[in-house]
């Protein structure tokens, strides 16, 4: 599932390839991705507008259009958004595309079709995203901010990190990696984390996400490579049974709130 780093890379690539694209027509071969909005209304509202800027909040992509409208795109589990020079050669997973004035198209692909595309007046975006927590790469996200959020939560710290109402954009992979880097047991209750642990966790979240943004950006900018690549050296995620890179004990996998968590019982306390 695309998490903050991959979504950021998608935004950067789109800014590079079609920063001010004028959209002439819109196609929704899979109208369900617009629900509860009507794909016909959406197509009518988007055509004729130009991209003014491309923004991201957590895992949400915000494409601000001329005339004070904003396209709100969530990539779901398998979504991707990129510019193609000839839409006739689109893959079967094409769920929407936007014809642009110069003959190219911005294509939205999504094999599992769990992503969403909506349009809102730009002035309504804050209200639509009011449930989204703090942006972890924003300077306002400090160890003190993390401590204040963690102290309100009785959940295990892994579940706390996945809860988008607290911190936006962290998913299963980078939560596991940040906890490993901070040497914190994912089962610890958030409100009980000591100050030194919270400092380590804050530093680990920022470091893991920054590095992942850089490697995702490199991977997504390669010509002809659209996601799905293994680009980030994962230390613990998906390594069940393998020796820990830090202490050599076998990595363990547990299930927390229906999600798997890999961690090292030797060095995550």
Q: Would you state the structure tokens that stand for residue 148, as one six-digit string? A: 């204040």
Q: How far apart are CA 247 and CA 94, in angstroms?
A: 45
Measured at CB, which residue is nearest to Zn ion?
A: 244
Catalytic-residue membership of 59: yes
Catalytic-residue membership of 156: no
Q: Would you state the structure tokens that stand for residue 162, as one six-digit string? A: 């996945």
Q: How far apart are CA 190 and CA 162, in angstroms?
A: 12
Q: Is 264 in the site for Zn ion (CB under 5 A)?
A: yes
Q: Is 242 in the site for Zn ion (CB under 5 A)?
A: no
Convert the chain into a string of H (helix), E (strand) and C (coil).
CCCHHHHHHHHHHHHHHCCCCEEEEEECCCHHHHCCCCHHHHHHHHCCCEEEEEEEECCEEEEEECCCEEEEEECCCCCEEEEECCHHHCCCCEEEEEEECCCCEEEEECCCCCCEEEEEEHHHHHHHCCCCCECCCCCCCCHHHHHHHHCCCCCEHHHHHHCCCCECCCCHHHHHHHHHHCCCCCCCEHHHCCHHHHHHHHHHHHHHHHHHHHHHHHHHHCCCCCCCCCCCCCCCCCCCCCECCCCCCECEEEEECCEEEEECCCCCC
Minimum Å gap between C-beta 70 and Zn ion is 44
Would you say 75 or 264 has its CB closer to Zn ion?
Answer: 264
Q: Is 262 in the site for Zn ion (CB under 5 A)?
A: no
Would you say 187 or 246 has its CB closer to Zn ion?
Answer: 246
Would you say 9 or 182 has its CB closer to Zn ion?
Answer: 182
Q: Is 267 in the site for Zn ion (CB under 5 A)?
A: yes
Minimum Å gap between C-beta 182 and Zn ion is 13
If binding means CB under 5 A, how many residues of this protein chain bind Zn ion? 6
Q: Are 206 and 214 in contact, with CB atoms under 8 Å apart?
A: no
Q: Is 236 in the site for Zn ion (CB under 5 A)?
A: no
Catalytic-residue membership of 136: no
Q: Is 114 in the site for Zn ion (CB under 5 A)?
A: no
Would you say 181 or 217 has its CB closer to Zn ion?
Answer: 181
- Which of 111, 211, 259, 265 is flagged as catalytic? 259
Among 25, 35, 148, 247, binds Zn ion (CB under 5 A): 247
Q: Would you state the structure tokens that stand for residue 190, as one six-digit string? A: 């958030």
Among 244, 261, 262, 263, binds Zn ion (CB under 5 A): 244
170-209 positions binding Zn ion, by CB under 5 A: none
- Which of 49, 59, 116, 200 is flagged as catalytic? 59
Q: Is 252 in the site for Zn ion (CB under 5 A)?
A: no
Among 187, 246, 252, 259, binds Zn ion (CB under 5 A): 246
Q: Is 266 in the site for Zn ion (CB under 5 A)?
A: yes
Catalytic-residue membership of 2: yes
Would you say 18 or 262 has its CB closer to Zn ion?
Answer: 262
User: Which are the catalytic amino acids?
Assistant: 2-3, 59, 259
Residues that bind Zn ion (CB under 5 A): 244, 246-247, 264, 266-267
């Amino acid at each position: 599932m695309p998490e903050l780093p991959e979504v950021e890379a998608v935004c950067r690539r789109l800014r590079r390839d079609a920063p001010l694209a004028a959209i002439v027509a819109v196609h929704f071969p899979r109208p369900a991705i617009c629900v509860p909005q009507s794909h016909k209304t959406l197509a009518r509202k988007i055509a004729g507008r130009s991209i003014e800027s491309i923004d991201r909040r957590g895992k949400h992509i915000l494409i601000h259009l001329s005339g004070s409208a904003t396209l709100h795109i969530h990539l779901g589990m398998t979504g991707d958004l990129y510019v193609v020079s000839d839409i006739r050669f689109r893959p079967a997973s094409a769920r929407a595309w936007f014809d642009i004035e110069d003959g190219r198209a911005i294509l939205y692909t999504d094999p599992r079709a769990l992503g969403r595309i909506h349009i809102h007046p730009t002035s309504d975006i804050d209200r639509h995203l009011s449930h989204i927590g703090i942006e972890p790469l924003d300077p306002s996200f400090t160890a003190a901010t993390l401590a204040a959020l963690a102290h309100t939560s009785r959940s295990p710290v892994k579940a706390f990190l996945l809860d988008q109402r607290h911190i936006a954009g962290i998913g299963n992979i980078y939560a596991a990696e940040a906890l490993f880097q901070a040497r914190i047991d994912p089962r610890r209750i958030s409100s009980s984390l000591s100050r030194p642990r919270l400092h380590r966790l804050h530093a680990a979240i920022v470091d893991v996400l920054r590095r992942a943004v850089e490697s995702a950006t490199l991977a997504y900018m390669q010509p002809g490579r659209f996601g799905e690549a293994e680009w980030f050296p994962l230390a613990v995620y998906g390594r069940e049974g393998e020796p820990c890179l830090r202490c050599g004990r076998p990595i363990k996998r547990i299930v927390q709130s229906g999600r798997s968590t890999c961690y090292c019982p030797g060095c995550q306390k």
